[in-house]
Structure 1
Amino acid sequence: MTGSDLIKTVEAALSNPGAATSDFDLNPNVVLPETRVLRDAAVLVALMPTDDGARLILTKRSSALKHHPGQIAFPGGKRDGDETLATAALREAEEEIGLDRKQVRLIGTLSPHETVTSFQVTPHVGVIDGPFDPVAELGEVAEIFTVPLVHVLNPDNYAIEGRRWRGQRRLYFVVPYGPYYIWGATARMLRSLADQVRL
């Protein structure tokens, strides 16, 4: 399947809304307070068509960051002021990986994802038109890399692992790729994409 065909398949799948997800999906024993307040955020699931398929852009966060140091993440962040979530995703990608927002064609969104840090993150899926030479934002992004889209669309590449968090064992999805340990919210959102597309 060519990159263009694969992306068309993804775009068609995104026309059907999926279920909302959270970092607590695999932990039904966690009781969340009904009065909790979630802050809006957005990420960009940036896809690049290639001759042999398509690739997904991810970042490795700087180890010097206060929150989630060294973790694998999409470019993205919290919404500023009254900007739209799509604008937030594109702005953050511009800042973090040097991606000109004019190069991105948005093709859909995944359902919101609630994180353990009280964000409601909306993933925006976009296609990069033309050549792109990534530039990492100093101090925040340690590395920018790509993963074959078919890798993260294959449910067989996912596993469930766990670690202790706030005194309890917490389970989460992982979808490793080479030296990259993709886990937590990023892996959960990618699993949601895989579930929607179902190649």
Structure 2
Amino acid sequence: MHPYPLGETSDLYSADAFQMRVQQRMDVLRAVVGGDHLLNPEFSYCAEHPHKLRDAAVLILAVNRGPDARIVLTQRTAHLRAHAGQVALPGGKIDEEDIDPVAAALREAHEEVGLDPALVTPIGELGSYLTGSGYRVVPVLATAPAEIALQPNPAEVEHVFEVPLSFLMNPANHLTQSREIAGKKRFFYAMPYEDHYIWGVTAGILRCLYNTVYA
């Protein structure tokens, strides 16, 4: 059972506590590989994607909001070719000019929501998350002060919002759901929050964060 029921907070979820817990687990963070296969053991990345998985990075940003930090999420615009209208962590493909996943995640966050990289304190990386759509995603963990100003880029992001870390790290909010995708029944995590439906890869990555840092 989660030690703090929904709606109850403690310093466990502050930005400083988040940073400390990540740093304490640095030696195991990248050792655990997550992915869609965790709920779908029969899934074969080699069969679905015979070519090399594409590298990407996303930013799990804990904004300092007192005892309960907030995680920045976006809702993608409806006209995008991939994952249109879905909730996502800021991020995208790692380009050749990106020196590492941290650089890629910060660049993408700046492009998508105007996040000033100078205000971000990177603290570590989770192990890669393998997606059914053919990506190897590195989640970059970081903190930022309350003064950050975010402005969604209308070409990519319809809406940017924040979710309490305590909500996302409460396993009672981690629903297991399923739907037919490409003719196959696939299971996935979902974390509905207010009028936002957080699911799929984004929820899967956040579940990996819980398993590695808060479980």
Q: So what's the TM-score if we normalise by structure 1?
A: 0.93
Q: Deviations over 1:4-58 (max 9, x none)?
A: 2344234423442251011222112223327431111101111111123211000
Structure 2 CA distance for aligned equivalents of residues 107 and 15 of structure 1: 13
Q: CA deviation at 1:130?
A: 5.0
Query: What amino acid is aligned across from residue 67 of structure 1 in structure 2?
Result: A
Contact 1:153 1:197 in 2 (8 A): no
Query: What amino acid is aligned across from residue 184 of structure 1 in structure 2?
Result: G
- Shift of the 61–191 alpha-carbon distance from structure 1 to 2, 3 Å rule, reads same
**Does residue 1:167 correspond to 2:183, yes or no?**
yes
Structure 2 CA distance for aligned equivalents of residues 10 and 152 of structure 1: 16
SS at match of 1:86: helix
Structure 2 CA distance for aligned equivalents of residues 154 and 167 of structure 1: 32
Contact 2:73 2:160 in 1 (8 A): yes
Name 1:95's counterpart in structure 2: 111
Match of 1:59 among 55, 62, 74: 74
Name 1:27's counterpart in structure 2: 40
RMSD over aligned CA atoms reads 1.6
Name 1:13's counterpart in structure 2: 25
Percent identity, please: 35
Structure 2 CA distance for aligned equivalents of residues 77 and 32 of structure 1: 20
Q: Deviations over 1:64-83 (max 9, x none)?
A: 11110110001100011142
- Shift of the 129–51 alpha-carbon distance from structure 1 to 2, 3 Å rule, reads closer
Q: Deviations over 1:145-180 (max 9, x none)?
A: 000001111112101100001111110011111111
**Does residue 1:38 correspond to 2:53, yes or no?**
yes
Match of 1:132 among 145, 148, 159: 148
Contact 1:14 1:196 in 2 (8 A): no
Q: CA deviation at 1:85?
A: 1.3
Structure 1 gap segments, 5+ residues each = none
Structure 2 CA distance for aligned equivalents of residues 162 and 74 of structure 1: 21
Query: What amino acid is aligned across from residue 74 of structure 1 in structure 2?
Result: L
1:176-195 equivalences in 2 (<5 Å) = 176-195=192-211
Contact 1:6 1:53 in 2 (8 A): no
Aligned length: 199
Q: So what's the TM-score if we normalise by structure 2?
A: 0.87
Contact 2:45 2:132 in 1 (8 A): no
Q: Which has the higher strand share?
A: 1
Contact 1:105 1:129 in 2 (8 A): no
SS at match of 2:83: coil
Structure 2 gap segments, 5+ residues each = 1-9
SS at match of 1:162: strand
Name 1:73's counterpart in structure 2: 88
Name 1:117's counterpart in structure 2: 133
Shifted more, 18-27 versus 106-115: the winner is 18-27
Name 1:50's counterpart in structure 2: 65
Contact 2:35 2:129 in 1 (8 A): yes
